Chains A and B, each alone.
Chain A
């Protein structure tokens, strides 16, 4: 079955760049879908960061757009997130996910287990 798995540093210093990768198994990323990143701050709700199509086209949350870059690597069957100029407010569990239907944004039905990223010096 299709699985996604986040990986990356668990600790990032303030003002630096947070970099995460989502490895996809059981499905070829170049076959479609708008793959997404979502985060959840401690004790808070869910926040959509953005989505990337296998072609490389992106859609970002306007509140984060100036700091976010997403990319896809079809050869490695993975996609990535970079968030620059991080502050303590970016401390969260970061999830990667796939939507329920290929043409949809959001409506995620396949989620990774999440990775905790703490921003601290």
Chain B
């Protein structure tokens, strides 16, 4: 059971917009700790997609965006493309356990 809760799967057609939620609690997201997002393509290592809630590392398309409110965060992907099909993970810091924590991951299927 992950500290951060994500839906197991989401799907969308090419060109559409999808969102992936990440729900935490009062000791992580709710206390103001930043949320980060990773994309993991099949057979590959994770890739940092969003850091500190809504910032993109160099090279990440602006189709990817992040937001945070209360004890939850979201990753939005617009103009969905076939190559976006991957697993997506949120990550934060838990101030109670003093630990880096990940969500359980969400598998995005592009229909």
Residues of chain A having any CB pair with chain B under 8 Å: 36, 45-48, 51, 59, 61-62, 95, 100, 105-109, 111-114
Contact A107 B105 (CB under 8 A): no
| CB-based closest 6 A-B pairs | A106-B100, A111-B45, A48-B100, A109-B48, A45-B105, A46-B102
Residues of chain B having any CB pair with chain A under 8 Å: 2, 34, 36, 38, 45-48, 51-52, 57, 89, 91, 93, 97-105
The secondary-structure label for the interface of chain B is strand
Contact B103 A45 (CB under 8 A): yes
Which residues from chain B contact A59 at a C-beta distance below 8 Å? 98
Task: Tell which of A47, A48, A62, A113 touches B45, judged by Cβ atoms closer than 8 Å.
Answer: A113
A46 and B48 in contact, given A61-B99, A62-B99, A100-B57 (Cβ under 8 angstroms): no
Q: Please give me the residue from chain A that is nearest to B104 by CB atom.
A: A45
Contact B51 A45 (CB under 8 A): no
Which residues from chain A contact B104 at a C-beta distance below 8 Å? 45
